[in-house]
Structure 1
Amino acid sequence: MTVLSGLKARATRTSLVQAVRLIEQAAKMRGRPASIGEDAAPDEEPLRFVASDRMALVATELAGIDDDGHQPRVTTNIMGLVGATPALPPFYSEIQLQRRRLRDRSVAAFLNVFDHRALSFFYRITRKYHWLLDHERAGRDGSDAATGAMLAFAGLATPAMRDRLELDDVALAPLAHHLGDQRRSAASVETVLRHLLKRPLRVLQAEPVWMALPPEEQSRIGGPALGRFARLGGEGVTGQEGGEDDHLPDAALIGAAVLDVQHHYVIEVGPIGYGEMIALCTDDATITRVRELCRLAAGIEHRPILRLAIAAAEIPPLRLGMADAPALLGRTAWMALDPGSDATLVECAIPLTASG
């Protein structure tokens, strides 16, 4: 059953706006993108409105739907110049009925010019102030008011903030309540990534990572003073005895690295298949998309790590030169795996830094 045949069967149980909406969408799918009540030629519009001229009182908005194969005719019980609730004096309704008995449709055709235009404007007004209809008509370009408001909540409404990501900005509108919340949580980041990437994943926060210290931040015994962490013992930071800055260092760092648990988090995807893992490891566009979403959802002060989980049974034996199961050194090159193991391996980690 087509959309139009279904509407014809239940025309008296369907509202005017809903029927016109469905007919308009069906016309667009058939390659007729013209909208109702705008500047298109009458025969190019998706449908033709006809106001019923019957004098009987009715309880529904639609009297019926007819289709000649080119342009459906939607007969309404409302907003007619003549009929049960006429805009013109009743005398004109009587004239219309007299001419119809004589099989003269000229008066009806003349009045229908105004009926069609008035009903078209009525539908346009309804669509303008009904944000769901406005959003549906705008499609994927994000020009409707509802999408603009959602992007404003997310901080992406101004021209300088638009079209900066590989992902279409319109796809971010349903996630405005997460992106606009200044309290960035792991659950919020997880929801954003799962919705946009369409993959099973979870976010693990407070991931411990060893961070290398630059030489000027490392304390030394002897040698010149470097930065605020001066050498242990002897002169102060300035190296001038008796100066106003002459003091012993107030802190010391021993070692070449520190364990940071505050600024790193892990996005664990999976378990996934081996082919999907290879595709993710080699797809720069997907890696870039994940990196941009992480910056947007969690902020630039946190550093994400993409970790791919895979069942050990999914990993093929490691052999050189296998084009169908290539091994990526440091990511998918496992050796001496137990083929009967039911473990899940999470050693494939991809730091999502600025350079990828």
Structure 2
Amino acid sequence: MRTAKRRIDPSVMRRLLSQPHRFHFFQAVRLLQVQFAREAGRAASPEHVLATRLRFPNTTRLSFPPSEIEALHVPALPPEALQDDDAFAEAIASGKLDTVALTPAFFGMLGAQGALPLHYTEVVLEREGVRRDRAPRAFFDIFSHRAAALFYLAWQKYRLPLQHEIDRTRHYLPLLLSLGGIGDRAARADLHEAPGTIHDEALAGYASALRHRPVSAAYLGRVLADYFQVPIRIEQFVGGWYHVPQGQLSQLGLGNNVLGATALAGTRVWQRDLRARVWIGPLARADYRRFLPGAGDAEALRKMMAVLGGATLEYEVRLVLRKEDVTGCALGGTDGGRVGFDTFLATRPSRHDRDDAHYTLQPVH
């Protein structure tokens, strides 16, 4: 429990509205854009929010700017709402933060840093001070507002983390997925199905690995270990026996076979270039069961291997159970095992890890 005299740090948004000079221009606009986008939800795009709820008027000061932001004004927000967090939260909930006028000190048409000669600023100041005429300044604000908004959007466009923060589904994710070669929704339909769902954000994170062809065993092992957060390594050229299709068997009287070239004795052949072995572990019992056939991570592993390694290889998965979790088989109880995978005939603690369990992913027939 906090003490009665404990200070409460103001929120970032309230600090921005009360002390705008402490923020950089891009940082301030980014905070306001996030706040407005959160309020609007999916009803408006970030560009629309920036154009309708933020204004960038010109500065008329001729002195050196001490900060990037000269002033920040919210017409509908009463000054007492900035005194404490509770009053500020109530004002935000009631819609008082409708439009914000942010005056940049380094950008615009007027002022010491403006694009126009200083004579224009002097004329505008004279019209406002002597004649109470704000029309000239409002006229220049039309151009400075649009220029400042485009300046911010240009800064934001080439910073992908900001695209992910503001509008990830329309810009950020499609771009990275397209770089990985799976921008089409139909190509990712199987990956989204349960069990073993693989989200688009995860695929986007491995976009460089998805487009890397051919993928090395070391690279593939590192990507899988990073995704599943368990030790994984790939063993190449494991080899296996494969049945020869009936039409390719050597038979007398049915085709001409050349000895040493096309003639084959037997119904199966040994090949080393069609199989790789995936070693997973040592694993704790809970992690071990997540990779058993039919479990969620086993299905996710199958999908990741198909996307990363291609469909031309088959993979033999070897699960390694750490020796501390190797226990004997016992009847009853709630922690029952699966015969052939995590049950052992043992009466004493194991001295080494067990790698008896194995199964095959996407077998080549």
| Aligned equivalents of 1:200, 1:31: Cα separation in 2 | 44
| Residues 85-120 of structure 1: CA deviation (Å, up to 9, x unaligned) | 345665653465467769x79666786566444422
Q: Does 1:238 align with 2:253?
A: yes
| Aligned equivalents of 2:108, 2:14: Cα separation in 1 | 25
What does 1:198-209 align with in structure 2 at a 5 Å threshold?
198-209=229-240
- TM-score, reference length from structure 1: 0.71
Q: How many residues align?
A: 326
Larger % of helix: which? 2
Which residue in the other structure is 1:85 paired with?
A: 113
Aligned-pair CA distance for 1:335: 1.6
- The letter for the 1-side match of 2:68 is E
| Aligned equivalents of 1:153, 1:17: Cα separation in 2 | 28
| Aligned equivalents of 2:223, 2:63: Cα separation in 1 | 55
Aligned-pair CA distance for 1:328: 0.8
Aligned 8 A contact 2:46 2:167 in 1: no
| Aligned equivalents of 2:289, 2:187: Cα separation in 1 | 33
39 and 29 in structure 1: CA distance in 2 versus 1, 3 angstrom threshold: closer
227 and 35 in structure 1: CA distance in 2 versus 1, 3 angstrom threshold: closer
Aligned-pair CA distance for 1:268: 2.1
Which residue in the other structure is 1:156 paired with?
A: 182
- The letter for the 1-side match of 2:297 is T
Which residue in the other structure is 1:222 paired with?
A: none
Aligned 8 A contact 2:56 2:102 in 1: yes
3-state DSSP class of the match of 1:289? Answer: helix
Which residue in the other structure is 1:171 paired with?
A: 202
Aligned-pair CA distance for 1:56: 0.8
Select which of 336, 345, 348 maps to 2:346. 336
203 and 72 in structure 1: CA distance in 2 versus 1, 3 angstrom threshold: farther
| Aligned equivalents of 2:50, 2:126: Cα separation in 1 | 33
336 and 247 in structure 1: CA distance in 2 versus 1, 3 angstrom threshold: closer
Aligned-pair CA distance for 1:77: 0.8
3-state DSSP class of the match of 1:38? Answer: helix
Select which of 6, 21, 29 maps to 1:20. 29
Structure 1 gaps of 5+ residues are 217-225, 231-236
Aligned-pair CA distance for 1:196: 3.1
Select which of 211, 216, 220 maps to 1:180. 211
Aligned-pair CA distance for 1:27: 4.9
| Aligned equivalents of 1:200, 1:97: Cα separation in 2 | 70
Which residue in the other structure is 1:233 paired with?
A: none
- The letter for the 1-side match of 2:156 is R
Aligned 8 A contact 2:235 2:277 in 1: yes
Which residue in the other structure is 2:265 paired with?
A: 253
Which residue in the other structure is 1:61 paired with?
A: 68
3-state DSSP class of the match of 1:177? Answer: helix
Select which of 338, 346, 351 maps to 2:355. 346
3-state DSSP class of the match of 1:347? Answer: coil
Select which of 244, 247, 250 maps to 1:229. 250
3-state DSSP class of the match of 1:346? Answer: coil
> Structure 1 vs Structure 2: percent identity of aligned residues?
23
Which residue in the other structure is 1:291 paired with?
A: 302
Aligned-pair CA distance for 1:11: 5.8
- The letter for the 1-side match of 2:306 is R
3-state DSSP class of the match of 2:362? Answer: coil
- The letter for the 2-side match of 1:295 is A
Aligned 8 A contact 2:327 2:344 in 1: no
| Aligned equivalents of 2:284, 2:133: Cα separation in 1 | 69
Q: Does 1:192 align with 2:212?
A: no
- The letter for the 1-side match of 2:180 is A
| Residues 306-331 of structure 1: CA deviation (Å, up to 9, x unaligned) | 222221222444222322x1211111
Which residue in the other structure is 2:3 paired with?
A: none
